[in-house]
Structure 1
Amino acid sequence: MKHIFNKGQDRTKPTLLLLHGTGGNELDLLPLAGRIDDEASVLSVRGNVLENGMPRFFQRLAEGVFDEEDLVFRTKELYEFLDEAAEKYGFDREHIIAIGYSNGANIAASLLFHYQNALKGAILHHPMVPRKGIDLPDLSGTSVFIAAGTNDPICSPMESAELESLLKKANANVELHWENRGHQLTAQEVEAAASWYRKLIIK
């Protein structure tokens, strides 16, 4: 997978896995990583799927309708890439925190839904429930921050609440943060995510 790896100053910190939204690339969320933790290593990945020339992490059948077969395949592909990248770059595979926006948040959530130890934690900006009607792995010890918009036309508040509920039932520690906004990524929610992250690291 096309990606960037930036070695951090503090190797005891988690590696931040950056996952862009539809039409983005591996450069998009680098400033975000700096806001969250400017000393951590960063692995920023570009999605392998193109939709009308726009990179994505998995195919969809329509707006808000995921191609589940491709989602499962691409989730496995990303999971295996993380194994390979950890070995190549020498970071701790068990200490990855994903930061995803929109489509990138969805693939990060899918990692949590399908693999027990895929991520140590995740910051999900405007995610949807990746799959319904499946049993999640035991996510004890996994922390998740969800940023949602009360007026999000793509991801309804009900969807955000459902994702929170499903992750909690799988024993994840979840914080759901609301902004009175739409689907856009706001400075306020990034600051809230950074505050959540700092508390997580101090524990």
Structure 2
Amino acid sequence: MNSPMIYEFRRPAQIEQGRTYPALFLMHGIGSNEQNMLSLVNGLEDRFYIFSIRGHLPQPPGFAFFSIQGYGKPHREVFDEGIRKLTSFIDYACDEYPIDVSQLFLLGFSQGAILSMTLGLTLGSRIKGIIALSGYVPAFVKEEYKIQPVDKLSLFISHGEMDQVLPFDWGLANNEYFRGLGANVTFKTYQEGHTVSMENHQDFMNWLMDNVDQ
């Protein structure tokens, strides 16, 4: 089966025959690429199969997974197609690699965080954990998508209090929304703009290791 998306791949140096491994799917922000996310997970390749996915739309100087028609409003058809492609990619990875399908994690920044949270809502219990850094859930996702139960889902949601791209209030709304659905949410805020600080990075790495089965 051919991959539905372009991706960078990392895995443990020593693979044990017959063993399955947790998987971590990385999604970058608009205008970025699959290389930029890998620095956030240095060292995790010893424990995880890591898939850093490239957005399928050209967005100089990099790529995007969807386009924007207004503030906080993705183009619906383009967004839907991005979600379909990412869902197909997760299916592909689970079929092609020795992955423990009970331990699928998503990590996204900005546009990647938007997609990660949406995939958590559409895939429900298929996903074990999500790290959503500086994103939001589009209104049409909440209102029109078929939302799966997320009471088994764990999330690390973070947002900069001085975010100049996606307002801090949107981070607060993410926390309230997923808690309202019964998800297990860790919500962290930082005295930062639209970025991932060293403290934020350390916090989500610790969260991830606490949530993956040893």
TM score, norm. by length of structure 1: 0.89
The answer to whether residue 132 in structure 2 is matched with residue 121 in structure 1 is no
The answer to whether residue 50 in structure 2 is matched with residue 42 in structure 1 is yes
* Cα distance between partner residues in 1 of 2:167 and 2:44: 26
**Alignment check: 8 A CA contact 1:35 1:194 kept:** no
The answer to whether residue 13 in structure 2 is matched with residue 5 in structure 1 is no
How far the C-alpha of 1:139 sits from its partner, in A, is 0.6
Partner deviation per Cα, 1:156-190 (whole Å, 9 max, x = no partner): 22211111122122221011100011101211100
User: Structure 1: which amino acid aligns with 2:159?
Assistant: A
Gap change, CA 1:74 and 1:202, over 3 Å in 2:
closer
Question: Over aligned residue pairs, what C-alpha RMSD do you find?
Answer: 2.1
Gap change, CA 1:202 and 1:42, over 3 Å in 2:
closer
Number of positions where the alignment pairs a residue of Structure 1 with one of Structure 2 = 203
**Alignment check: 8 A CA contact 2:22 2:101 kept:** no
Partner deviation per Cα, 1:8-28 (whole Å, 9 max, x = no partner): 257665211111111211111
Q: How does 1:102-117 map to 2 (within 5 A)?
A: 102-117=110-125
**Alignment check: 8 A CA contact 2:21 2:100 kept:** no
The answer to whether residue 90 in structure 2 is matched with residue 82 in structure 1 is yes
User: Structure 2: which amino acid aligns with 1:17?
Assistant: F
SS of the equivalent of 1:92 reads strand
**Alignment check: 8 A CA contact 1:36 1:193 kept:** no
Q: Equivalent residue for 2:211?
A: 200
The answer to whether residue 199 in structure 2 is matched with residue 188 in structure 1 is yes
Partner deviation per Cα, 1:87-141 (whole Å, 9 max, x = no partner): 1122123321111111111111111122223421111110112334246321121
Q: Equivalent residue for 2:185?
A: 174
* Cα distance between partner residues in 1 of 2:147 and 2:167: 22
* Cα distance between partner residues in 2 of 1:199 and 1:89: 24
Structure 2: 5+ residue stretches without partners: none
**Alignment check: 8 A CA contact 2:105 2:127 kept:** yes
Greater C-alpha Rg: 2
The answer to whether residue 66 in structure 2 is matched with residue 61 in structure 1 is no
**Alignment check: 8 A CA contact 2:134 2:194 kept:** yes
The answer to whether residue 111 in structure 2 is matched with residue 100 in structure 1 is no
Structure 1: 5+ residue stretches without partners: none
**Alignment check: 8 A CA contact 1:136 1:170 kept:** no
Q: Equivalent residue for 1:26?
A: 34
* Cα distance between partner residues in 1 of 2:47 and 2:124: 27
SS of the equivalent of 1:171 reads coil
TM score, norm. by length of structure 2: 0.85
The answer to whether residue 17 in structure 2 is matched with residue 16 in structure 1 is no
**Alignment check: 8 A CA contact 1:147 1:189 kept:** yes
SS of the equivalent of 2:151 reads coil
**Alignment check: 8 A CA contact 2:31 2:60 kept:** no
1:91 to 99, 102, 127: 99
